[in-house]
Structure 1
Amino acid sequence: MVKRGKTIFKSKIKWILALILLTGCIYGSYTLSRYTEADQVEAKQAQVILDAGHGGSDPGKIGLNNLLEKDINLAITKKVKKCLEKEKITAELTRKEDKGLVTTGDGSKKTEDMQARVKMINETKPVLTVSIHQNSYEDPEIHGAQVFYYSHSREGEAVAKILQESLQEIDPENHRQAKANETYYLLRRTKVPTVIVECGFLTNPEEAEKLSGEEYQEQVAEAVAKGIAKCLEYLNEYGN
């Protein structure tokens, strides 16, 4: 009887220990899932899409000394991403090399490329999208960075003004203001606050030379990244 009692006691102890272990696993799994979900939400709140305009067979604007807009766009965009990463802000690029988002097709490549960019943005659902471009004009005297937003987007207008102010810090002579637009496909079709940053004019000799150099590209990238950080603060506080 004593031996049998010991066996029953040991069996009960094993069941109790197993129950404690199972409870711990369930609680640990629940806690881990909560932290993981919190991390995912936090990452989503900080997420930015950086869109380097043009690419591949689409050079964009061709400036002085045959400067190609697509190359400058990508160079600055990559620098913006690095600046954001230093601030622990996650950013995703629509393109990472000299390619458009559509590599097959006929004369509608440009339209398909824009549709692919919009689709990526709308599916990713970032807090903010910033598309990097360069400008041009027939008058070589015209210069200065300018930010465009969709006319009917209150949030777009707010972040465009924040970015415009940030860019003016590196060029005090630039008196351009953030400007509303109703025709740009990217602005009309995206479901998140989206702005287009025209970093400067490739048709202005002085500005074109600066934009082609690493030093000024870094300055522009830092200004854009600084503006994005402020935009995220605004959107997290006042956005929908």
Structure 2
Amino acid sequence: MPIKIFIDQGHNPSGTFNSGAEANGVTESEVNYQVGIYLQNLLNSDSRFEARVSRPTPDTVLGTNNTTSLQERVRLANEWPANYFISIHCNSNPDPDINGTEVYIYRTGTQSNWLADAVLNAVTETVGTNDNGVRVNPSLYVLRRTNMHSILIELAYVTNLSDAMKLRDNQYQFANGIYLGIKRYFGFE
């Protein structure tokens, strides 16, 4: 039986509510969408996994506001039910020098923690972003309300020019890094 992984492409499409960060010609929701589709394809081409995404099309809108959008993402994962939940995001910061990749978890010492370590290492190796570490943030709704092991990946910073170019040009590599990290976590690599 394949391992079921739910991929949440954070935020909603441009022009709708909560489309995420935008800077340096890069729109977070568009990057999240495409990285999620690439990751879904990679996982579904591997018979050990079955993957679904929260936004199957570029114009899929989840919910009617921020709260209902988050609730819908969690509901989709919980009702499937997925074994793992991976939320994909891009970061921003008023300081354009801040850059790198980080992964958020609900608490340390868990399977989510080990998955986050493997994914973070593989993404930074594959794409060349700085490793900002695994961070605990129990306030994140998708980590707190999912019924499975969950991580939230901040791929890189749209507000940092170097990171933004990676987000624009290396979306497949980000997905491949996440896929490689998942395989390492399961001992398949």
Aligned-pair RMSD on alpha carbons?
A: 1.8
Query: Is the aligned partner of 1:222 residue 2:176?
Result: yes
Paired residues of 1:182 and 1:188 also in contact (CA < 8 A): yes
Query: Is the aligned partner of 1:95 residue 2:55?
Result: yes
Query: Is the aligned partner of 1:60 residue 2:13?
Result: no
Deviations 1:160-212 (A, max 9, x none): 11111111212556132111111101001111001001110000011102211
> What amino acid is the match of 1:61?
A
Q: Tell me, what secondary structure is at the counterpart of 1:75?
A: helix
Residue 226 of structure 1, CA deviation = 1.1
Which has the larger Rg?
Answer: 1
> What amino acid is the match of 2:28?
E
CA distance in 1, matches of 2:158, 2:44: 28
Q: Tell me, what secondary structure is at the counterpart of 1:160?
A: helix
Paired residues of 1:187 and 1:195 also in contact (CA < 8 A): yes
Q: Tell me, what secondary structure is at the counterpart of 2:22?
A: coil
CA distance in 1, matches of 2:55, 2:127: 28
Q: Tell me, what secondary structure is at the counterpart of 1:177?
A: strand
Q: Tell me, what secondary structure is at the counterpart of 2:90?
A: strand
CA distance in 1, matches of 2:128, 2:171: 17
State the TM-score, normalizing by the size of structure 1. 0.71
| Consecutive unaligned residues in structure 2, runs of 5 or more | none
Residue 85 of structure 1, CA deviation = 2.2
Equivalent residue for 2:125?
169
| Consecutive unaligned residues in structure 1, runs of 5 or more | 1-41, 235-240
Query: Is the aligned partner of 1:206 residue 2:162?
Result: yes
Deviations 1:124-175 (A, max 9, x none): 1211111110001111111111111112671211111111111121255613
> What amino acid is the match of 1:196?
L
Paired residues of 2:4 and 2:84 also in contact (CA < 8 A): yes
> What amino acid is the match of 1:179?
R
Equivalent residue for 1:137?
93
> What amino acid is the match of 1:143?
N
Higher relative contact order (CA 8 A, sep 6+): 2
Paired residues of 1:61 and 1:136 also in contact (CA < 8 A): yes
C-alpha spacing 1:153/1:59, structure 2 compared with 1 (3 Å):
farther
Q: Tell me, what secondary structure is at the counterpart of 1:47?
A: strand
Residue 231 of structure 1, CA deviation = 3.0
Query: Is the aligned partner of 1:154 residue 2:78?
Result: no
Equivalent pairs: percent with the same residue? 26
Deviations 1:68-118 (A, max 9, x none): 11101001110111111232221011111222222xx5xxx1101111111
The equivalences for 1:35-74 within 5 A come to 42-43=1-2, 46-56=3-13, 57=16, 58-65=18-25, 67-74=26-33
> What amino acid is the match of 1:94?
S
Paired residues of 1:127 and 1:232 also in contact (CA < 8 A): no
> What amino acid is the match of 2:62?
L
Higher strand share: 2
